[in-house]
């Protein structure tokens, strides 16, 4: 993996490159960076450029590999995002280590998951007006039928929030308040027929 990532000579693009603001940025030297990939931790060699006008440094290879401001490869960040979005961060960290051999701190799972969540929400906000106006075609066809399920569950609360409410246990004191949980979902084509029969039978019964 290290040989593959470094076979480009560090991403050297010549003695000068455009800094992005119309100024020439000069090549300074090579700088190594430890990057955790799905396969292993590797050292990535990158050509470093500096623009004296902007007083900023540039590492074109970081943009090419999508590792700007991070030591995690895109693949590792996707894995963290999946486990961090489905379960608590510490169990997610344990699953990453047990299933993929990827070892990261719990705080890093939290940080990456939250950053990805912000990016996803930003994309949705940008797409929402276009979708509603009909200017953006969805990638997948619309589901022919959606199902809505709702249920109630008890949520533990402090005593003052249950005053005047009767509980179900022998003491008669309520210890929880009911919270409604809803879900909107569809079914895959193999099961949709059976689920339609099930919900229709429930509606009739």
205 — pLDDT class (breaks 50, 70, 90) = very low
Q: What is the pLDDT of residue 191?
A: 46
Pairing of strands 41-51, 24-36: antiparallel
Domain ranges of the chain: 2-71, 75-133, 147-204
Strands (E), 24-68: 24-36, 41-51, 56-58
Tell me: pLDDT of 30 over 90.
Answer: yes
Distance CA 148, CA 76 (A): 34
* Residue 98 neighbours by CB under 8 Å, 6+ apart: none
Report the run of H or E that residue 181 belongs to, with start and end: strand 176-185
Q: Decide if pLDDT at 194 tops 60.
A: no
Given a cut of 90, is residue 144 above it in pLDDT? no
Phi, psi of 111 (to 5 degrees): -65, -45
pLDDT of res. 185: 83
- pLDDT exceeds 60 at position 35: yes
- Choice among 7-16, 42-51, 177-186 with the minimum mean pLDDT: 177-186
Q: What is the pLDDT of residue 94?
A: 95
Q: How far is CA 25 from CA 31, 44, 167, in A?
A: 16, 21, 72
Greater model confidence, 197 or 127: 127
- What's the pLDDT score for residue 97? 94
Which tens digits make up the pLDDT trace of 57-98?
Answer: 999 999 999 999 999 999 999 999 999 988 899 999 999 999
**d(Cα 21, Cα 31) in Å, to the nearest integer?**
23
Using alpha carbons only, what angle is made at residue 117 by residues 113 and 118, rounded to the nearest 5 degrees?
Answer: 120
**CA–CA gap between residue 195 and residue 205 (Å, rounded):** 15
């Amino acid at each position: 993996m290290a040989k593959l990532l470094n076979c480009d000579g560090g991403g050297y693009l010549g003695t000068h490159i455009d800094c992005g603001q119309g100024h020439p940025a000069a090549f300074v030297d090579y700088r190594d960076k430890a990057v955790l990939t799905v396969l292993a931790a590797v050292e990535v060699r990158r050509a470093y450029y500096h623009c004296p006008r902007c007083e900023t440094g540039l590492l074109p290879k970081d943009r090419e590999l999508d590792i700007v401001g991070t030591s995690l490869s895109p693949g590792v960040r996707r894995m963290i995002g999946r486990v961090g979005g489905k379960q608590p961060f510490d169990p997610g960290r344990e699953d990453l280590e047990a299933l993929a051999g990827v070892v990261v701190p719990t705080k890093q799972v939290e940080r990456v998951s939250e950053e990805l969540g912000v990016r996803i929400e930003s994309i949705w906000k940008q797409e929402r007006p276009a979708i509603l106006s009909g200017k953006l075609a969805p990638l997948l066809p619309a589901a022919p039928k959606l199902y809505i399920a709702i249920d109630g569950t008890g949520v533990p609360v402090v005593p003052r929030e249950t005053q005047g409410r009767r509980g179900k246990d022998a003491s008669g004191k309520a210890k929880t308040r009911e919270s409604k949980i809803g879900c909107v979902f569809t079914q895959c084509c193999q099961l949709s027929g059976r689920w339609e029969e099930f919900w229709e039978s429930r509606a009739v019964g």
